[in-house]
Amino acid sequence: MKILVTGGAGFIGSHTVLTLLEAGHEVVVIDNLVNSVVDSLERIEELTEKKIMFKEMDLLDYEGLLSVFAEGRFDSVVHFAGLKAVGESATEPLRYYRNNVAGTLNLLDCMQETAVHRLVFSSSATVYGASEAVPLTEDSPLEAMNPYGRTKQQIEEILSDLSASDPRWGIAVLRYFNPVGAHESGRIGEDPKGIPNNLLPYVAQVAAGRRDKVTIFGDDYMTEDGTGIRDYIHVMDLAAGHIAALDFLVPRTGIFRWNLGTGRGSSVIEVISAFAEASGRPIPYEVGPRRPGDAAVSYADPTAAFTDLGWRAHRNLSQMCTDHWGWQEANPEGYAKTADHAPPASCL
Ligand code: NAD
Ligand code: UDP
């Protein structure tokens, strides 16, 4: 298939682009590089020895986007592009709604205009809010607790209405749990700007000596060691989930929702220990107050994805930490921040 990947230069997008290329698909990436650099795509071209068509493009540029669709003749779209920092979404809600919701509306308009009706959308377990009725199934109530999560929930509602309005659409909504790790080559990985918001990248930077210690956000939860529990999933397992969803959609229409998680929860303390083990480095930590809005426990029931797609996560926490460390150690400052980011790939 010829597949348009929005946000394909980012963390999950880049790993999925690599997996799509390896599965034999042709890939066109659009990204405005607000949270990524094109080096990720260059490295994927090196790893796969395949070309990626890249266009620097903002989803809010409707005319530009339409011209990409008019030229592209895509079979499917995989839609990663979005802003994702929970804290920032609370201080800049309009920017988040405009970028994520209005950006998605532009994308859907262009798809409709050019008769592309197959979409895989990056949603998030954040749509379940702080629900502690674990494991979370696709039927668990949606109650996003911050503007970022509400953009995902609203987009899911828009996609439901769209699917109901026109039977030609085939839509997969993938609710990711906590994506971590990196490609086993250590050439591509997560490259957060500034201080990482998420646990794994923060722990990795402590292991690398870039930060002094990890602050554990509360150790008084009703969990075995008192720290929060999440369902960490290797980004390469997640990438495989997108291929499975696309394959599922090819002969079908309608809207489908799947949790992509391992079904196994790990506490903050377990993650720190696993990372220390994988890296062979000490990971100093201190206990601080709870982070407002955090659920104590969140993990998926991934049964539906296995039943419908034949997909399940294969890599365990140790593998996630090993691969995350492989990337961190080989790229202590992430992708070269000072490089001249001329478009690498064949431009549209
Ligand atoms: P990322 O920031 O690394 O990737 C997102 C990409 O989208 C970036 O390359 C960014 O430059 C691009 N982008 C943002 N706004 C754009 C716009 N208006 N036009 C064009 N490009 C734009 O994030 P990620 O971790 O790879 O996440 C990918 C998707 O998965 C996001 O939609 C995110 O909300 C969702 N998600 C991520 C996580 C996670 O923990 N990483 C969890 C659940 C869901
Ligand atoms: N966490 C922590 N210290 C950090 C970052 C996160 O203790 O510096 C905890 C957080 O409270 C949660 C878990 O680690 O219990 C995962 O947090 P992350 O932000 O990575 O994912 P999310 O909470 O969005 O699922």
Q: pLDDT for 335-344, tens place per residue?
A: 975 344 444 4
Q: What tokens does 258 get?
A: 């799947």
Tell me the best of 230, 233, 283 to mutate to test the pocket of ligand 2, counting ligand atoms within 8 Å of each CB and taking the most: 230
Contact 9, 38 (CB under 8 A): yes
Using alpha carbons, select from 181, 177, 179 the residue that is nearest to residue 322.
181
**Residue identifier of the C-alpha nearest atom 21 of ligand 2:** 198
322/317 Cα distance (integer angstroms): 9
Q: Which atom of ligand 1 is nearest to the CA of 33?
A: 11
Instruction: Measure Cα distances from 62 to 71, 83, 97, 261 in Å.
Output: 14, 18, 16, 34
Taking only the tens place, the pLDDT of each residue in 248-307 is 999 999 999 999 999 999 999 999 999 999 999 999 999 999 998 889 999 999 999 999
Pocket of ligand 2 (CB under 6 A): 178, 197-199, 202, 214-217, 228, 230, 268, 291, 294
Taking only the tens place, the pLDDT of each residue in 155-212 is 999 999 999 999 999 999 999 999 999 999 999 999 998 899 999 999 999 999 999 9
User: What pLDDT is attached to residue 340?
Assistant: 43
Catalytic (active site) residue 335: no
What is the 304 CA–ligand 2 centroid distance (Å)?
A: 26
**Residue identifier of the C-alpha nearest atom 36 of ligand 1:** 124
Using alpha carbons, select from 293, 268, 290, 301 the residue that is nearest to residue 133.
301
Exposure string of 221-239, with b = 16+ CB inside 10 Å and e = fewer, is: bebeebbbbbbbbbbbbbb
**Residue identifier of the C-alpha nearest atom 22 of ligand 1:** 81
Q: Which ligand number lies closest to the CA of residue 200?
A: 2
**Cβ of residue 83 lying under 6 Å from some atom of ligand 1:** yes
- When the pLDDT of each residue in the chain is averaged and rounded to a whole number, the result is 95
User: What pLDDT is attached to residue 193?
Assistant: 87
Q: Which listed residue (148, 285, 299, 335) is catalytic?
A: 148
Question: Which listed CATH number (3.40.50.720, 3.40.30.10, 2.40.50.100, 3.30.428.10) goes with 2-330?
Answer: 3.40.50.720
Q: Which atom of ligand 2 is nearest to the CA of 198?
A: 20
Q: What tokens does 249 get?
A: 């959609």
Please give the residue that has the higher pLDDT: either 338 or 115. Answer: 115
Q: Which atom of ligand 2 is nearest to the CA of 268?
A: 14
User: What pLDDT is attached to residue 131?
Assistant: 81
Element spanning 330, H or E: helix 317-330
Tell me the best of 4, 5, 11 to mutate to test the pocket of ligand 1, counting ligand atoms within 8 Å of each CB and taking the most: 11
